[in-house]
Amino acid sequence: MTTDSTPTQTAETKRDRVRRLLLEPLGFRKSANVTAERQKAILDQVCDELAYLSDEGLARVREALQAKGQGKARDCWPELASFRAYAEMAEPRPIEELPALRRWFGSIEGPKAINERTLVETWVWFQRHKRPPVTPADRRQVFERSERNRRKLTIIEERIAAGREVDAEDRDWVRRYREKRDYLEQLVEQERGAKGQEA
């Protein structure tokens, strides 16, 4: 009986991939006023936040940041905000992955949006502004869009129920709206469950 003495290879983690494709090729050093522990924490956060990028997206960020080092010699690590900004330009982060969105829907605001029937419109707001609708003007816009969409949904659904002709574009809009609403309701339930709260 023979045994395989070849060492087993461990799977590359998401952090490892970002380090290999972005951080190692950049090869910046830490600033003198940043501790090694703090620098490691920042670079770990960079890896975690940019893990959604494709290999090509990471390459674009790498190219953009090569000349953006900090310090007199421009050889120190850029700020976390620079990584975020160039990543967003290279490949916008999927909105469902935005921590602010997940926190918002996981808070009391998720069930509130379901009850107010503004869930889809709140998602659209996040998509456009990358932040929750917190001011009275923000909320008014979300409510107004929600009312328009509810009217449109009701009209099209009534036509379908009555057997009247409905064009393919309207049918597709209803399908996509319902799918997004169902998906977001599941997201709220998932995020609330993760916090040990009842949706």
Secondary structure of residue 148 in the 3-state scheme: helix
Q: Are residues 146 and 173 in the same domain?
A: yes
pLDDT of residue 195: 65
pLDDT score at 132: 86
- Domain membership flag for residue 8: no
Query: What is the pLDDT at residue 198?
Result: 44
Could you give the number of structural domains in the chain?
2
Supply the pLDDT for residue 199.
Answer: 40
Which of 71, 93, 96, 95 has the alpha carbon at shortest distance from 83? Answer: 93
Same domain, 87 and 102: no
- In this prediction, residue 9 carries a pLDDT of 63
Contact 64, 98 (CB under 8 A): no
**Do 108 and 49 belong together in one domain?**
no
**Whole-number Cα distances in Å, 89 to 2, 58, 80:** 53, 11, 15
pLDDT for position 196: 63
| Residue ranges in the chain whose pLDDT is less than 50 | 1-3, 5-7, 197-199
Of the chain, the end-to-end C-alpha distance in Å amounts to: 57
Residue 19: domain span: 14-92
- The reported pLDDT for the residue numbered 193 is 80
Region label for 142, one of left (φ > 0), alpha (ψ between -120 and 50) or beta (otherwise): alpha
Tell me whether residue 6 is in a domain. no
In a shared domain, residues 39 and 73: yes
